[in-house]
Structure 1
């Protein structure tokens, strides 16, 4: 009897440890993400709790209903239920299909400018693509990433990975970082040991509670990681503009420096030519004397 109890304890510990360090990506978040180009968008939005996994399949080709939108909105804003999202004014109704405008109102306070192609209903896949594109658009002074209490994490090559006290730990730039209890990754594998040698292009720290999305937790850990050479989320418009300005200024400085460089080159050319002529004259003079 004692032996059976001990085996049960060991089995429970293993299960608890695996659940504690469960990393989500496009392969295990939903069973059907292989059929959609928005797979990583869905992983991102799930990490931000914009989408809450409520079934084994995401059904990306299905039209998004107002009822489903209201449920996601309620989860995102920590409301009691879908009806509470209606009562709060985030969505207008639970009936019918959702539109781009309804999504724009629910998550961005109607601030986004919609194109001609974004005037009607949308699929669940299109929803993910649309919202993921704008996670860095500030609404009332706060982006979706900031609303999730996410802060920028490390970038660079992963030098090592290990499991310590049931938690995954990775080393980047000589610094150890603990992965959250339920982190998400835009990566081809969820095994940190395989990540060693690969680069982190973008990452975020976030609250690290026992539940998947616990902003009340005082503990923080890495909750979202993008492997590769290029960041996944689009930079805020102001940042893009600032980057463009800085690049333009650098180009101006290069252009402005070119005349001076050319002057320097011509100066050295004159000096070299003068030295050659002087040496030649000296040679001829000495030869004449001989």
Structure 2
């Protein structure tokens, strides 16, 4: 009995990201990825749409390891909504659908181009394998590539969501945010990039990026026959990913941009600042001169 319960517990680690029915934030996504990692936002975006998952053993990403065909196929199975609950089952389902030709060895750029991009990408080294870090960077760069009217995000049954200031929040059994007067509810298992997962603290902060479930089917057919895989289960769009920036973070970004400015940019900024200061001085001087003249005329008139 104890062994059976352990197997059930471990099976939750095998499932693709879309199967997690709870909130995950930047500190709980992977055991070996810090919430301050330079690519944490990219990782969370790919994880939220199902193109990045777990290895079937633990909660580690192991970003410097080569990406195996088996793991890639398993993530594809979750992304396209194929049948299966474990990495092995989803990988086999993806192979059965001819998304990959084998589950042995490491995946190549060419195979990713075939499975996700209909051979549309021009690759420098198509037969090269890649680490998970390189995979994350590669997919992030291609998220908006147009593949006959849909992007990679849309292919998975998602769309770009709202951005702007959070005016209010909805709390209780479900959580939502109000942006530009419209309420957007969070999905059942959202990925949240924020300083806090306490929704009440988000009021006044800015949503820099978000991804919505579309409630429709995946916009992809591997054999181009129109036989689409099953998409999201809800008809009402919900927030699958939300990236929130606090005022402090916005100020920090401005400071970083200033520090990273080129000498030419800095000179231009200094020039504009000096011109503004000079204009202010001249305006003040003119106002003083007008005041003196008016005072002189007033005194002369009194006499």
Contact 1:167 1:178 in 2 (8 A): yes
1:30 maps to what in 2? 30
2:237 maps to what in 1? 220
Separation in 1 of the partners of 2:231 and 2:198? 24
Separation in 2 of the partners of 1:217 and 1:169? 16
81-90 or 64-73, which deviates more: 81-90
Per-residue CA distance 1:56-75 (angstroms, 9 max, x = gap): 11111111111111211222
Normalising by the residue count of structure 1, what TM-score does the alignment of the two structures yield? 0.62
Q: 2:78 aligns with which of 75, 79, 96?
A: 75
Counterparts of residues 120-131 of structure 1 (less than 5 Å): 120-131=128-139
Separation in 1 of the partners of 2:93 and 2:153? 23
Per-residue CA distance 1:177-225 (angstroms, 9 max, x = gap): 22222112333333322222211122232158xxxx9613223322222
Q: 2:149 aligns with which of 135, 141, 147?
A: 141
1:44 maps to what in 2? 45
Normalising by the residue count of structure 2, what TM-score does the alignment of the two structures yield? 0.59
Pairs aligned (count): 204
2:263 maps to what in 1? none
Q: Are 2:130 and 1:107 equivalent residues in the alignment?
A: no
Separation in 2 of the partners of 1:32 and 1:214? 30
CA separation of 1:201/1:123 partners in 2, compared to 1, >3 Å: closer, same or farther?
same
Deviation at residue 122 of structure 1 after TM alignment: 0.9
Separation in 1 of the partners of 2:47 and 2:24? 9
Deviation at residue 123 of structure 1 after TM alignment: 0.9
Superposition RMSD in Å: 2.7
Separation in 2 of the partners of 1:176 and 1:84? 37
Where in structure 1 are there 5+ consecutive unaligned residues? 1-19, 230-290
Secondary structure of 2:207 counterpart: strand
CA separation of 1:154/1:28 partners in 2, compared to 1, >3 Å: closer, same or farther?
same
Higher-Rg member (1/2): 1
Counterparts of residues 1-290 of structure 1 (less than 5 Å): 22-34=22-34, 36-53=37-54, 54=56, 55-80=58-83, 81-116=90-125, 119-164=127-172, 166-206=173-213, 215-228=232-245
Separation in 2 of the partners of 1:177 and 1:86? 36
Separation in 2 of the partners of 1:21 and 1:191? 18
Secondary structure of 1:190 counterpart: coil
